[in-house]
Amino acid sequence: MLPPGHEAWTELDAAPPHVQSDAQYEEWVQSDASVGWVEQDSAAVALRVRHIPESVQRRIAAVTGAYRHDFSMTLQSFYWMNHCTACGMKQGDFELIEEYDAPFYPIHDAARIVLRPVFEAFHVEANSISYEPGVFAHMTRMEP
């Protein structure tokens, strides 16, 4: 989960002033200049996380061994995913987070989710980010 104020690499909202024609706009949209780091107002859930820095990996491992980097047969790629603590079976983000009736879908039972804050800047690579305004207000906070 990412708090309000995090930055996301995303499409920029507006073209710069020198872009004045449709052709210039199309050229700008297709260029690297149309994306950048943008501060986000809402909390977010990072999905199908491909990379987490080692310092954050150590913090996760201290809490649970059930969230680890593994291969998804469905996506044919590696990402950080939950695993059953009893049998080790992979539990992908789609089944746990993305479906509306999923157990960790942030809008439902947010109070069951315990946040363990990371008080350092870090970079996460993810396939998708889901924005959930106001969801942190209902979660339990546990200091590291």
Q: Does residue 78 lie in a domain region? A: yes
Amino acid letter, residue 45: V
Residue 135 domain boundaries = 7-141
Q: Does residue 105 lie in a domain region? A: yes
Q: What are 93-140's pLDDT values in tens digits?
A: 777 666 666 666 656 666 777 777 787 778 888 877 776 666 667 666
Q: Does residue 69 lie in a domain region? A: yes
DSSP states of 92-137: -HIIIIISTT-TT-TTSSGGGPEE----S----EEEEEEE-TTGGG
Q: Does residue 1 lie in a domain region? A: no
Identify the burial level of 53 via C-beta atoms within 10 angstroms of its C-beta, where 0-12 means exposed, 13-18 middle and 19 or more buried.
middle
Amino acid letter, residue 132: E
Domain count, the chain: 1
Q: What are 51-87's pLDDT values in tens digits?
A: 988 988 998 898 888 999 999 998 899 999 989 999 9
Q: Which residues pair with 7 in a beta bridge?
A: 39
